[in-house]
């Protein structure tokens, strides 16, 4: 940002990921629904961003847009650049060239996200051969290295195993190995631990965090789990009804929530220092995206709502160093409230 006037090569000057005013609309003959609305963010090399929100808030769609992995009914506007490449302008062949190599994805449910009739080794080697054009033997060797990288025990034997022969945790590790097979610079993880047992969740999460640091990848996590968010992320973006409502460094957002929705999420989650206290659910349910309220989308559920909230969608405004929130309340109100969440104590 400080080098705006200096003509530097695209790779080093531009952030690795840059999303500007991204909107995603699903069109069908009988209705049009805007699922992601005017989302902008950037991500530097090695940085981890967490998209947090309820089901249907648009976090998964936002992430899948980065590799245009949405059904043909999706229409994108805005701009997505990965290492300077304009993703929305790519032709099909060019797009598949960056999928799996520059940017790759870990899916939520490894049981259904892996092809049931091919072995783990075949599925990884296939990706390696697609992007690196190496021999069968070399691809298989690389697949074995990858299984060892993700700490799958008896990796050589697991290479010839089918997905149904592995436990949930091992399957997700295999999924991670698959995603890492062509050394991606950007890793997208769509609720990577939601389908796993609690104990396995933490192991997989710690593995992901250490791999991300070791390999220096930029990572975007999608989750609805605050614990996951503060464990793995540098920055967090809270999504509600297709928009970012709050965005900033994970410590700032979770300790000084500036948006009432973020506060609501924190109050409705179990954490150590509030043990014994009652959880406060957020009243109401997420709005119908096809019939959003005229003003702030969160206004119908917001305890601070007033007439001005119905006048129009508030813009994202600065709340201290790099923290943005989409709320008309000034920073003075929330500063009175005590921090409700201690990131360190959560895991």
Binding footprint of another protein on the chain (CB under 8 A): 67, 69, 93, 96-101, 104-105, 107, 109, 112-118, 126-127, 130-131, 162, 164, 178, 182
| Residue 95 C-beta: closest distance to another protein, Å | 8
| Residue 164 C-beta: closest distance to another protein, Å | 6
Residues 185, 218: contact at Cβ < 8 Å?
yes
Residues 114, 166: contact at Cβ < 8 Å?
no
| Residue 126 C-beta: closest distance to another protein, Å | 7
104 or 297: CB nearest another protein: 104
121 or 260: CB nearest another protein: 121
DSSP state of 259: S
| Residue 103 C-beta: closest distance to another protein, Å | 9
Instruction: Pull the structure tokens for residue 311.
Output: 């006048």
| 312: number of Cβ within 10 Å | 11
| Residue 181 C-beta: closest distance to another protein, Å | 8
| Residue 26 C-beta: closest distance to another protein, Å | 15
DSSP state of 237: E
All residues at 6 or more sequence positions from 224 whose CB lies less than 8 Å from its CB, including other chains: 52, 53, 54, 55, 191, 194
| Residue 178 C-beta: closest distance to another protein, Å | 7
150 or 178: CB nearest another protein: 178
Using CB atoms within 10 Å of the CB of residue 95, give its burial: 0 to 12 exposed, 13 to 18 middle, 19+ buried: middle
115 or 335: CB nearest another protein: 115
Cα Dmax for the chain: 67
107 or 341: CB nearest another protein: 107
Start-to-end CA distance of the chain, whole Å, equals 34
164 or 294: CB nearest another protein: 164
Instruction: Say how far apart CA 39 and CA 102 lie, in whole Å.
Output: 22
CA distances 303 to 162, 267, 282, 309, Å, are 51, 13, 9, 12
Which is nearest to 237 in space by CA: 270, 217, 259? 259
């Amino acid at each position: 940002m400080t080098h705006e006037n200096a003509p530097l090569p695209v790779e080093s000057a531009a952030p690795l990921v840059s999303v500007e005013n991204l909107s995603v609309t699903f069109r069908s003959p009988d209705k049009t629904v805007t699922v992601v609305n005017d989302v902008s963010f950037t991500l530097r090399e090695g940085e981890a961003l967490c998209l947090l929100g309820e089901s249907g808030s648009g976090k998964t769609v936002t992430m899948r847009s980065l590799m245009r992995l949405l059904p043909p009914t999706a229409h994108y506007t805005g701009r997505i650049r990965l290492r300077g490449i304009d993703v929305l302008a790519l032709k099909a062949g060019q797009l598949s060239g960056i999928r799996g190599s520059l940017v790759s994805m870990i899916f939520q449910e490894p049981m259904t996200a892996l092809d049931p009739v091919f072995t783990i080794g075949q599925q990884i080697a296939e990706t390696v051969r697609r992007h690196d054009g190496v021999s069968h033997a070399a691809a298989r060797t690389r697949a074995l290295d990858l299984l060892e990288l993700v700490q799958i025990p008896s990796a050589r034997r697991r290479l010839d195993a089918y997905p149904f022969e592995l436990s949930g945790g091992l399957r997700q590790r295999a999924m991670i190995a698959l995603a890492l097979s062509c050394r991606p610079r950007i890793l997208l993880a769509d609720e990577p631990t939601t389908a796993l047992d609690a104990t396995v969740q933490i192991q997989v999460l710690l593995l992901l965090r250490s791999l991300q640091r070791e390999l220096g990848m930029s990572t975007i996590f999608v989750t609805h789990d605050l614990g996951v968010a503060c464990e793995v992320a540098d920055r967090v973006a809270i999504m509600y009804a297709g928009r970012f409502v709050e965005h900033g460094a994970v410590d700032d957002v979770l300790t000084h929530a500036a948006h009432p929705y973020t506060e609501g999420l924190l109050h409705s989650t179990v954490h150590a220092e509030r043990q014994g206290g009652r959880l406060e659910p957020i009243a109401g349910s997420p709005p119908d995206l096809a019939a959003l309220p005229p003003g702030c989308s969160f206004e119908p559920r917001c305890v601070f709502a007033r007439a001005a909230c119905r006048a129009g969608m508030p813009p994202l405004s600065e709340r201290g160093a790099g923290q943005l929130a989409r709320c008309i309340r000034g920073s003075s109100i929330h500063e009175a409230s005590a921090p409700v969440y201690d990131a360190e104590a959560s895991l």
